[in-house]
A = this chain, B = another copy of it.
Amino acid sequence: MKIVEGGVCTVPGIKAYGIKEGKLGLAAITGQGNTVGVFTQNKIRAAPVIVTSRRLPGTMNAILAYSGSANAFTGKKGIEDAEKMAQLVADVLGIDPKTVAVASTGIIGRPVNMDWIEGHIKEVLGGLTPEPSGSEAAARAIMTTDTAMKQIAVEVEGARIGGIAKGSGMIGPNMATMLAFIYTDAELPSESLYKCLKRAVDNSFNMLVVDGDTSTNDMVLLTATGKKKISEGKFQEGLTFLCTELAKMIAKDGEGATKFIEVHITGARSREDAKKAAKAVVRSPLVKTAIYGEDPNWGRIVAAMGNSGADVKEERVTLALSDSYKTATLVKKGDVVEGAIEQAKRLMAKDVIVISADLGLGTGEAIAWGCDLTCDYVKINAKYMT
């Protein structure tokens, strides 16, 4: 497997483009293929989530994503608007509107600005290009509080997989205001595609916590044009890698974040326990603020694990902090390691903090990603709407 250029446009036949005008953005991607999706588990589902999920799995021709409002909690009008978005694309491209996926992101309870979309649809679709610049423009168009554009592409056994994503706040376990659109030329049946996507998302986006809130609009779509034969195993490997890299980009771009946090749990009684413990640590406001303050208050990590629902026994826990080069072991099988605090404090000055905990109870392992909690997070979110 190797990393290649071009985002979604790395896949032959895929075109993309996007425009941004102030807080509004519109991205389009075209390319025919078997499409599967994974959607938010929030009981309040945005209109585009409802509309798009109904059409999948199926053969899709295009995606239109709007950044400016969530089109969530917008009732019947929301559904009509989402369907209208698909219709607009269909009209210009001469395709069936049912083969157009739609997505949106922004403030909940606000309808999409249909006038603006109608006024710009031709510009977006007219700009569609198979060049890498097209994927980049699309990735930029869907940004909201994101400060960095997020895309990546890999080649595995001759097949290409490319994706773009957005997400910065409202990121909790089980996805959250995050959109990801992934294309591949791999040839796999829908059931395999869905299975691979579900597994990749479970181990990547679903292990990501910015603030623990979960959005109404999450959507990860995967379209396979079916030109390249590839084993399911190899495809899974490439797809999981791609989703993991996109998830880490989102964690690094967490609202107001100054540090990236990676939590490795080993020795848990089960895989589920490891996931719970890992997520609880990246979710804890006390752990997140301590990391922001470079304060090696490791008791908060232990408390977060102890409160995660996972089985934890004090006398079994080994805990270390690392900047991913050097490591400071703070606790060894329940005993506090003398003098490690100072070393940990030095490591915490870095931008990447790796927390490793061996629970000493079994073979369950998991990794979760997140970021610190800062005053800037508070500021960004205190005045988001007004």
Residues in chain A within 8 A of chain B (CB atoms): 41-45, 70, 72-75, 107-110, 169-170, 172, 211-216, 283-286, 289-290, 292-293, 295-300, 302-307, 310-315, 331, 334-336, 345, 373-375, 377-379, 381-386
What chain B residues lie within 8 Å of A109 (beta carbons)?
A: 298-299, 302, 331, 336
A286 contacts B72, CB within 8 Å? no
A307 contacts B381, CB within 8 Å? no
A305 contacts B44, CB within 8 Å? yes
A378 contacts B75, CB within 8 Å? no
**Closest chain B residue to A292 by CB distance?**
B382
Count of this chain's copies in the oligomeric assembly: 2
What chain B residues lie within 8 Å of A286 (beta carbons)?
A: 169-170, 211, 213, 381
CB distance from A132 to the nearest CB of B (A): 34
CB distance from A173 to the nearest CB of B (A): 10
The one of B70, B107, B213, B374 that contacts A307, using a Cβ cutoff of 8 Å: B213
B211 contacts A70, CB within 8 Å? no
Q: Told that A44-B303, A211-B286, A375-B378 touch, could you supply 13 new A-B pairs with CB distance under 8 A?
A: A43-B310, A72-B299, A73-B336, A75-B334, A108-B302, A109-B299, A212-B284, A216-B299, A285-B377, A285-B381, A289-B377, A289-B381, A290-B384
B384 contacts A378, CB within 8 Å? no
**Closest chain B residue to A211 by CB distance?**
B285
A303 and B42 in contact, given A315-B75, A384-B297 (Cβ under 8 angstroms):
yes
B314 contacts A73, CB within 8 Å? yes
Compute how far the CA of A370 lies from the CA of B384 in the bound complex, rounded to whole angstroms: 21
CB distance from A385 to the nearest CB of B (A): 4
The one of B170, B284, B386 that contacts A213, using a Cβ cutoff of 8 Å: B284
The one of B42, B172, B297 that contacts A107, using a Cβ cutoff of 8 Å: B297
